[in-house]
Structure 1
């Protein structure tokens, strides 16, 4: 997903990358589904904005990896699976899910900005609803416009064989020379990802500066875990896509596949940490309220 289609990979590495992608995406589908079920069961009427945003990012990742697996299965199952309306539909859905993931990663960065920079001025009426409209609305409007432009369909990429280069294909943005798909891919995938990556990396830098400026060395390991968790939530590993160009392209592909195909697993662990922290905070508030009530009754 979202890899350099001009990169030529030999069959052995292509097979290894394929296994990593299929296994990682399968794990992500399972763990994102578990995360959504846990959120529905444990919410109990509470509306925590941060967790609500994490859950919608989780939903976008679920759509992304599920549509990827289904489209790959369709191309494998049907002899001409990379042709026709079904492939066009899979390409549209996969593009929509990828844009939704990027948009929700950007929203994670924006929410972090609101928490860190605008600390005392973060109230916005119907904040989560407005973010949801942006998070799902922008990708939907984009793919509708792209769909009318006819950019979805067969996408070819190349691998090195003993007899030279040979092509493989999948359902994605069309790579045909007479299609505007090349421009659409650069603008809506590479360009959009670049902007999101730069913004979220800057937000992560702000977090690191604040942690190192206010905490002692004794909390270094905990702070490192926080930074690693936020790196996953902000989608910083997606920046490895830009390492698939140049002399380090093959290692970049492996790192990109490993970190991003298993992103749903990392988000599940982050959700557990946030849920546990939220329960501890509510328990502390409840204990403090009970203590004050007892003191009032005794007095």
Structure 2
């Protein structure tokens, strides 16, 4: 009898040791899965369900405990997250399990959001993840979905002004290792400073925050296509405009047309750098944080500031033609404007470049049931950068000043047309006013209408008018050529009426 007991002991001990040796170590589960050919998320879910802790030293951001499957489970983590799993979910997991014990183990891991690679899905991807924290929740050894009673995960919200959407990770069926966030099966509730995610499945969970635009995925995709198509057309037509100006107006001393061509060149750089930035992030997602993305972000910022500056110069030139008509001559006028138009943006972006504000930025768009955004090489949205301040000062603030000044200049044109052509003929000048509105960049003011209840119509109008601005300037240039080159009036015989007709032509 003793011999048989000893035999069983010596048989069972090696078998137990062999099983333990082949079980993965929880500490190395993430690193091992990141080097697998299959999607690392699926590998990691399987590993943390079967792994063992070979040492008594706690693993950072890794939690495991066992509970009775007939009771609900609730626990808080040192990271500030809380997980509530109803008994229904535990029993579902128990029915999928081959073990006969009444207990089931729960595993929760807190991961960094940078591990999740976003694929180029419709050009729109996930936005900023709250505190860059993603929770992997696993019950038992099998997946659990379609729960009647939802699992609740609480994320601490330290900024009460942030709006968030609960999402879970979905692997891409096309590109392995990539995926996207989806809010399908999850509801979001803000309770006492916490985002509470109620989901009917177990997966990798996160909260997308900093939503400034309210756009559903369909409209977001349409806006993306408008941007790409409009920018592509603008690149083509601005290039044609510059070639035509070089061939047909070579040696011309007309300063207004020269200013128009500088603005056209700035728009060419703007749309070209935008398309290149989007292309780089799309095809080089892993390297979007490198020096190339920094260079694209700097170039896009410089082109945008140059466009704003030349729009302001257009307004200033209009002021000189319509208001200071008897004192228009300025020595080397176009050269001085060129130094200002290209110099101010260059100095600004060089200063911003030394401060390290350029990099990858996520423009987050949130709909009712899903979240998406577009990533672009621009002013970095990283929390440790000064990107927010730089963006508000050099983009929003600068655009606001240019918009107010040029709108005032457009008002001066309307008043002069009203006074010189009569009220009855004002409707015939709508083309002139619309053309000047485009040249002065008045549609850029629609950027301030992309918030609030009119955000969606404002976004469509902003995208259409500004993405196709290069096309509109080309039509304006053709209209100028059609009217013929106006005579340049001298200082002695110039009059308000003649100067008015010269400029508006």
TM-score by length of 2: 0.53
Question: Which residue does the alignment assign to 2:237?
Answer: 31
Q: Which of residues 433, 438, 451 is equivalent to 1:232?
A: 438
| Partner of residue 68 from structure 1, selected from 271, 274, 286 | 274
Tell me what 1:207 maps to. 413
Q: CA deviation at 1:100?
A: 0.2
1:294 — aligned with what? Answer: none
1:197 equivalent in alignment to 2:368: no
Gaps of 5+ in 2: 1-209, 489-505
- Cα pair distance change 1:164/1:61, threshold 3 Å: same
Higher helix share: 1
Q: Secondary structure at 2:286's aligned position in 1?
A: coil
Task: Give the match's secondary structure for 1:178.
Answer: coil
Residues 180-239 of structure 1: CA deviation (Å, up to 9, x unaligned): 110000000000000000000000000000001110356434411111000000000000
SS of the equivalent of 1:153 reads strand
- Distance in structure 2 (CA, Å) of the matches to 1:230 and 1:75: 35
1:54 aligns with 2:260: yes
Deviation at 1:6, TM superposition (A): 2.4
Q: Where do 1:93-242 residues align within 5 Å?
A: 93-160=299-366, 164-217=370-423, 219-242=425-448
Shift of residue 77, structure 1, vs aligned partner: 1.1
* CA RMSD after TM alignment: 1.8
1:77 maps to 2:283: yes
Q: In structure 2, how many angstroms separate the alpha carbons of the residues matched to 1:44 and 1:163?
A: 56
The CA distance in 1 between the partners of 2:311 and 2:256, in whole Å, is 12
Tell me how far apart the structure 2 counterparts of residues 277 and 162 of structure 1 sit (CA, whole Å). 51
Is 2:214–2:455's contact at 8 Å kept on the other side of the alignment?
Answer: no
Q: CA deviation at 1:159?
A: 3.0
Instruction: Give the Cα–Cα distance (whole angstroms) in 1 for the partners of residues 356 and 250 of structure 2.
Output: 44
Q: Give the structure 1 partner of residue 108 of structure 2.
A: none
Matches within 5 A, 1:228-267: 228-267=434-473
Structure 1 gaps, min length 5: 283-299
TM-score (normalizing by structure 1): 0.89
Partner secondary structure for residue 250 of structure 2:
coil
Write the deviation string for residues 78-107 of structure 1: whole angstroms up to 9, x where unpaired. 132421111110000000000000000000
Q: Count residues in correspondence.
A: 279
SS of the residue corresponding to residue 125 of structure 1 reads: coil
Correspondence for 1:19 among 225, 243, 264 = 225
Is the Cα–Cα contact under 8 Å of residues 24 and 262 in structure 1 kept in the other structure?
yes
Which one of the candidate residues 272, 295, 301 is aligned to 1:89?
A: 295
Task: Decide which structure has the larger Cα Rg and report it.
Answer: 2
Query: What is the rounded CA distance, in whole Å, between the counterparts of 2:450 and 2:410 in structure 1?
Result: 23
Shift in alpha-carbon separation, 1:91–1:222, aligned structure 2, 3 A: same
Do 1:5 and 1:156's aligned partners in 2 also have CA atoms closer than 8 Å? no
1:8–1:158 Cα contact (<8 Å) kept:
no
What is the CA distance between 1:273 and its match in structure 2?
1.5
